[in-house]
Amino acid sequence: MRGPFDKKVEESPNVTDQTSNPASTAESDRSYWKANVRLIRISLVIWALVSFGFGILLRPMLSGIPVGGTDLGFWFAQQGSILVFLALIFFYAWRMNKIDKDYGVEE
């Protein structure tokens, strides 16, 4: 998956080379944190969209899409949101572990 985070990753090898220098470590840590916060923000938008959005507030808009005797909003409220939450946590863990390595901050 290529997303808005890929740009940061490409810059980073350059930064990790200089970890011996405290000033540039701080600089690298700051952009690592920015990459993390951006990933969190995107994930939380999806988190809110599937639960509060599709499951509750936007349900009337989805009422035209039938799913097994009811509509898509009901499915999101009782099944879909949970499945998306799962996908989100694993996506975040996978993506962050990769970002950790790119910035050389993994354990």
Partner 1 sequence: MDQFTLNLLFVGASFALYIGIAIWARAGSTSEFYAAGRGVHPVTNGMATAADWMSAASFISMAGLIAFTGYDNSSFLMGWTGGYVLLALLLAPYLRKFGKFTVSEFIGDRFYSPTARLVAVICLIVASTTYVIGQMTGVGVAFGRFLEISNTSGLLIGACVVFAYAVFGGMKGVTYTQVAQYCVLIMAYTIPAIFISLQLTGNPIPALGLFGEHQASGEPLLVKLDQIVRELGFNEYTAHHADTLNMTLFTLSLMIGTAGLPHVIMRFFTVPKVSDARWSAGWTLVFIALLYLTAPAVGAMARLNITELMWPNGTDGEAVSVQQIADDPAYDWMATWQKTGLLGWEDKNGDGKIQYYNDAKAEMKAKADANGWQGNELTNFNRDILVLANPEIANLPGWVIGLVAAGGLAAALSTAAGLLLAISSAVSHDLIKGQLRPDISEKGELMSARIAMAGAILVATYLGLNPPGFAAQTVALAFGLAAASIFPALMMGIFSKKVNNSGAVAGMLAGLIVTLLYIFLHKGWFFIPDTNTFTDADPLLGTIKSTSFGAIGAAINFAVAYAVTSMTKPIPNEIKDLVESVRVPRGAGAAQDGH
List residues binding partner 1 (CB under 8 A).
Answer: 26, 29, 32-33, 36-37, 40, 43-44, 47, 51-52, 55-57, 59, 67-71, 74-75, 77-79, 81-83, 85-86, 88-90, 92-93, 96-97, 100, 104-107
Q: Are 95 and 77 a contacting pair, CB within 8 Å?
A: no
- Report the Cα 100 to chain-centroid distance in Å: 14
* Rounded Cα distance, 103 and 99, in Å: 6
Shorter beta-carbon distance to partner 1: residue 11 or 93 = 93
**Rounded to the nearest whole angstrom, what is the least distance from the CB of residue 104 to partner 1 in the complex?**
8
Shorter beta-carbon distance to partner 1: residue 7 or 37 = 37
Contacts of 43 (CB under 8 A, 6+ apart): 88, 91, 92
Shorter beta-carbon distance to partner 1: residue 11 or 89 = 89
